[in-house]
Amino acid sequence: MKSLSEFPRVTLAHKPTPLDAMERLGRLLGGHTLFVKRDDCTGLAMGGNKARQLEFYFGDAVSKGATTILVTGAVQSNYVRSVAAAAAKLGLECEVQLENRVKGMGDEYQQSGNVLLNRLFGATIHTYPEGEDESGADRSLENIAEKIKERGGKPYVIHLAVGHPPLGALGYVEATNELLNQLEERGASLDAIIVPSGSALTHAGILVGLDLHGRNETKVYGICVRRNKRAQAERVFQVASQTAELLNFKMSLKQHDIMTFDDYLEPGYGHPSPDTIEAIKLGARTEGLLLDPVYSGKAFTGLIGLSKQGVLKPGTNIVFLHTGGTPALFVYQNHFINTQQA
């Protein structure tokens, strides 16, 4: 078994992040013992789960002498914003590629929120016309990387598609240990974790972390934010398997153990449903939580929905993983103004 300390890394995140009780919401949903793991409070550029992941990617990049970091993602990608911030912090150049993944959005979506922050951090911005072509987006990054090499730079690409070493998942192997320690200190048990599931690095890292601790009885409910539950489960299992390989760990997890739910995905990536808008308002008004319409808001919708359906039974001990995404909230203001006040 390989220790996390054997992987090169840099320090980017504020850790441990808080574990806050959500007593009001727990009662409202029928009597859960409910906590929120505040990974929106990781500190780097308005926080979010990506800071933990990037400690390992940037550690690898720095160890290889990289001068420029490249990443691709949606226009309002939290990942892209976090990469731009981390590069600025470490004195590296950054080139980001924004994919046209969410159709029908206005000028605010194209210029404000995370895009504004990318510019503020000094990133060079490229565009990619397709939103559902991960391999093509990665090839485009590689082409940009070749041009950087021709200028004498040393690029480091953080790939989007699966098939590359999922170093970012190691951040959530570590985070799972952190969470279990916090619960033990409180004398609290853990039955279920609710997590948004997109790139699968966070979801897979948690599953491997639980497996390492022999805690496979803890259910991890992945709320799909980009693809259907079958495709997402396959992706999560592939990333988890690759993560276990990085650690030289024989994983006991099987593909049929992966739980993904796409009931809250529609109308699609980056488009919140009326239920998600109501869930975001509920989180704000009952717990003071700021959730985003792309990831954390849809996962919160899943928490509410699974509770109402009885999948999460009264008395269940639940942790909701808040993955951040606050900057993107502001480009969705039209979904909240002129709506009936709850």
Global pTM value = 0.97
Q: DSSP alpha helices (H): ranges in 121-224? A: 134-150, 170-186, 201-212
- Domains annotated for the chain, with CATH where assigned, are 4-48+166-335 (3.40.50.1100), 51-158 (3.40.50.1100)
Query: Which residue's structure tokens are 């996390």?
Result: 4
State how far the Cα of 10 lies from the Cα of 158, in Å rounded to an integer: 15
Cα distances from 276 to residues 1, 33, 37, 319, in angstroms, run 41, 22, 20, 19
Res. 342: pLDDT tops 70 = no
pLDDT of residue 8: 98
Tokens of 190: 């853990």
28, with CB counted inside 10 A (0-12, 13-18, 19+), is: middle
Tokens of 47: 């926080």
Res. 194: pLDDT tops 80 = yes
77 flagged as catalytic = yes
Res. 339: pLDDT tops 90 = no
Confidence band for 337, pLDDT divided at 50, 70 and 90: confident
Q: Bridge partners of 33?
A: 317
Res. 341: pLDDT tops 70 = no
Residue among 5, 77, 199, 241 flagged as catalytic: 77
Question: Is the omega angle on the peptide bond into residue 314 within 30 degrees of 0, that is, cis?
Answer: no
Nearest to 36 by CA among 296, 218, 285, 224: 296
- Write the pLDDT tens digit of every residue in 37-58: 999 999 999 999 999 999 999 9
- Write the pLDDT tens digit of every residue in 224-266: 999 999 999 999 999 999 999 999 999 999 999 999 999 999 9
Report the pLDDT averaged over residues 130-150.
Answer: 97
Tokens of 115: 């895009």
Report the pLDDT averaged over residues 66-82.
Answer: 98
Indicate the SS3 state at residue 42.
Answer: coil
Report the pLDDT averaged over residues 156-164.
Answer: 96
State how far the Cα of 273 lies from the Cα of 330, in Å rounded to an integer: 17
State how far the Cα of 161 lies from the Cα of 189, in Å rounded to an integer: 35
Chain centroid to Cα 114, Å, comes to: 15
Q: b or e along 114-149 (b: 16 or more beta carbons within 10 Å of the residue's beta carbon)?
A: bbebbeebebbebebeebebbebbbebbeebbeebe
* Cα end-to-end span (Å), the chain: 52
Report the pLDDT averaged over residues 205-219.
Answer: 97
Q: Which residues contact 7 (CB under 8 A, 6 or more apart)?
A: 56, 59, 60, 167, 170, 246
Residue type, 290: L
- Write the pLDDT tens digit of every residue in 289-335: 999 999 999 999 999 999 999 999 999 999 999 999 999 999 999 99
Q: Which residues contact 342 (CB under 8 A, 6 or more apart)?
A: 278, 281, 282, 285
For the residues of 26-39, what is the DSSP string, one character each? HHHTTS-EEEEEEG
- Write down the mean pLDDT value for the chain: 96
157: left (phi over 0), alpha (psi -120 to 50) or beta: beta
